[in-house]
Amino acid sequence: MDLATLIGVIAGSTVLLAAIFLGGSAGIFFNVPSVLIVVGGTLATAFIRVGMSDVFNSFKVAMNAFSVKLSNPQEVIQEIVNLANIARKNGLIVLEQQPINDPFLKKAIMYCVDGHEAEFIEEVLQKEVTLTVERHELGQGVFKGMGDSAPAFGMIGTLVGLVQMLATMEDPATIGPSMAVALLTTMYGAILANLFFIPIADKLALRSKEEERNRQLIIEGVLGILKGLNPRVMEEFLETFLAPEDRKGGQDKR
């Protein structure tokens, strides 16, 4: 798990737990039926929405997003420029023996080595990017959906509790504690959605965008290699994909 996420999850949980334990009566905050309503209801609707395998897939995708690192775009640019230099000197065929780190770049280079036309290669790679983005959107959709369901089931649980409390209101002394229990599901739902599901969905969206940008960069680079562009010009062009402070070439040289 990457450091920021770890810090985020720990810090977020800590402030909530601190608030709960400093308040004195921490025991009241843990209530198994309330957990069951919120977690059970949220999972149940996720199953209806997308099917079981996609729910588990999304959890796997989310795990990946937090542990596997994306290729660094600067390094990918270096790799592409190196390949362009080699291709210029020794021809495209030699690229087959080069070690290539990024799997998408490797695949793209293989298409070049196989002698497909530039147009075909661009179409296949572009379609791959589009369809990968769509698959990622499914994963985000699962978490966004759970981010909608959790507060809804929290509210449903609270309504169930309120109805029970109101229907059998005999001893006024029990009203407070009963209502506290009823409110727990709303609290669980809000925490699950706002500390976990929604930020994770956002993280997946951000990550998908970064991966897409990396791949667009690779497609531009590989097309440049096929066209036999000057590697220095290509580097300058590919560096527009980086934030200004991450560029090494271009305007600094002037």
Least distance (Å) from a second copy to the CB of residue 63? 14
Least distance (Å) from a second copy to the CB of residue 72? 13
Using the minimum distance from each CB to a second copy, give the nearer residue, 46 or 77.
46
Using the minimum distance from each CB to a second copy, give the nearer residue, 73 or 87.
73
- The amino acid that residue 4 corresponds to is A
Rounded CA-CA distance 135/138 in Å is 5
Using the minimum distance from each CB to a second copy, give the nearer residue, 85 or 236.
236
Using the minimum distance from each CB to a second copy, give the nearer residue, 9 or 86.
9
Using the minimum distance from each CB to a second copy, give the nearer residue, 9 or 118.
9
Least distance (Å) from a second copy to the CB of residue 236? 8
Give the tokens for residue 177.
């504690």
Least distance (Å) from a second copy to the CB of residue 206? 6
Least distance (Å) from a second copy to the CB of residue 39? 9
